[in-house]
């Protein structure tokens, strides 16, 4: 069915190598040969087979994209940006939905079998060891949204979660809150752990009482709503720092359900700044994570790794900022 190199070579009256070279960037072909080949290729509708090329060059132009959070709208942006950014560079994403795949080990095997050129692990709920498994298998890997360590042994692109936790504590303190709660994302996520640490440490420093610490089971509205019921048992809580906007929205609805009004009776601070955070019904004050920068940088880095595998592990962190809307008391007037 498909037209091959050989047929084009025959029609153009040149060798197979000549045809191959016309379709390879930077190869040496004379203008006359190129013209003949291009004409023949056009006539036959020839396009080189990327599979065959991959076998010969040992490059597939496939980038594995491993995620386990297909429920959260925050990931829509991630997918959109990843795919379009890869496409711009003539690369393709090979998606792996980790929630469905049995073991992480299998995922590594699988992507190795497909000879992906690189892998982006986009999740904060997996340990660093997962990303390292790719590295051990000789596959360039970036742990996006991952936990960074001073003695990095794997590329990490994301944010400083500890610092963001501290930022949340400061945000509460500046607005005059004195007793607050933490309603984090899944407890096993490294992002949750780091934010929690930063939040509690800074709260202590600022004399802010953290009356309650709890965690939602996953990044969903429902999990947030359920966990919030627990927080509401404690009447002294004036504001809640949530590990994710979706969780936060669930928590807000639980609070409203209990007759509280926002921000008068209770304040909420979200995380991520997903599109919905700006909707009138929630008007969420939240800490924005610069997804776009993170993704672009991850793609750039993985491409760099492919070109230069020896590159030493890098940590790239992007700043987050508080987006002021209506779910917290306003800052007191300066002066």
With CA atoms as reference, report the closest residue to 169 among 193, 200, 128.
200
71 binds DNA (CB under 7 A): no
Helix (DSSP H) and strand (DSSP E) numbers for the chain: 12, 12
Q: How far is the CB of 309 from a copy of itself (least distance, A)?
A: 10
129 binds DNA (CB under 7 A): no
Residues 28 to 57: which contact DNA by CB under 7 A? 28-33, 46, 48-49, 52-53, 55-57
Residues 133 to 172: which contact a copy of itself by CB under 8 A? 138
Contact 271, 289 (CB under 8 A): yes
Q: How far is the CB of 332 from a copy of itself (least distance, A)?
A: 29
Indicate which single residue of 88, 259, 264, 332 sits in contact with a copy of itself (rule: CB under 8 A).
88
Q: Whose structure tokens read 């996953």?
A: 218
114 binds a copy of itself (CB under 8 A): yes
Q: How far is the CB of 56 from DNA (least distance, A)?
A: 3
95 binds a copy of itself (CB under 8 A): yes
Q: Whose structure tokens read 């921000």?
A: 263
State the DSSP string of 262-311.
TTTT-EEEEEE--GGGGSTTT---EEEP-HHHHHHHHHHHHHHHHH-TT-
State the DSSP string of 122-181.
E-SSS-HHHHHHHHHTT--EEEET----SS-SSEEEE--HHHHHHHHHHHHHHTT--EEE
DSSP state of 65: E
16 binds DNA (CB under 7 A): yes
Please identify, among the stretches 105-113, 128-136, 177-185, 310-318, the one whose residues bind a copy of itself according to the rule CB under 8 A.
105-113
**Interacting residues toward a copy of itself by CB under 8 A:** 1-2, 47-52, 54-55, 60, 62, 70-73, 75-76, 79-80, 83-84, 87-88, 92-97, 99-101, 109, 112-115, 138, 220-221, 249, 253, 256-257, 275-276, 279-282
């Amino acid at each position: 069915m498909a037209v091959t190199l050989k047929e084009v070579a025959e029609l153009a009256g040149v060798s197979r190598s000549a045809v191959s070279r016309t379709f390879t960037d930077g190869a040496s072909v004379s203008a006359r040969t190129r013209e003949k080949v291009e004409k023949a290729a056009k006539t036959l509708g020839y396009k080189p087979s990327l599979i065959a090329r991959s076998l010969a060059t040992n490059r597939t132009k496939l980038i594995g994209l491993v995620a386990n959070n297909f429920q959260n709208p925050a990931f829509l942006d991630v997918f959109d940006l990843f795919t379009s950014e890869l496409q711009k560079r003539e690369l393709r994403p090979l998606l792996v939905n980790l929630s469905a795949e049995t073991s992480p080990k299998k995922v590594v095997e699988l992507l190795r079998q497909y000879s992906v050129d690189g892998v982006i692990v986009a999740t904060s709920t997996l340990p660093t060891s997962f990303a390292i498994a790719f590295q051990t298998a000789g596959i360039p890997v970036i742990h996006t949204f991952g936990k960074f360590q001073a003695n990095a042994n794997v590329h990490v692109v994301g944010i400083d979660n500890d610092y963001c936790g501290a930022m949340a504590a400061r945000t509460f303190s500046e607005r005059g809150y004195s007793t607050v709660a933490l309603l984090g994302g899944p407890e096993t996520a490294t992002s949750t752990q780091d934010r929690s640490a930063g939040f509690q440490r800074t709260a202590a420093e600022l004399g802010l009482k953290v009356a309650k610490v709890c965690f939602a089971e996953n990044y969903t509205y429902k999990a947030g709503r359920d966990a919030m019921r627990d927080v509401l048992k404690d009447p002294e809580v004036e504001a809640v720092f949530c590990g994710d906007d979706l969780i936060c929205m669930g928590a807000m609805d639980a609070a409203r359900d209990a007759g509280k009004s926002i921000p008068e009776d209770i304040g909420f601070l979200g995380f991520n700044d997903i599109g919905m955070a700006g909707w009138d019904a929630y008007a969420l004050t939240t800490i924005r994570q610069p997804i776009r920068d993170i993704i672009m940088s991850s793609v750039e880095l993985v491409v760099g790794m492919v070109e230069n595998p020896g590159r030493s592990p890098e940590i790239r962190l992007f700043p987050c900022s508080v987006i002021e809307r209506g779910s917290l008391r306003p800052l007191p007037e300066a002066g």
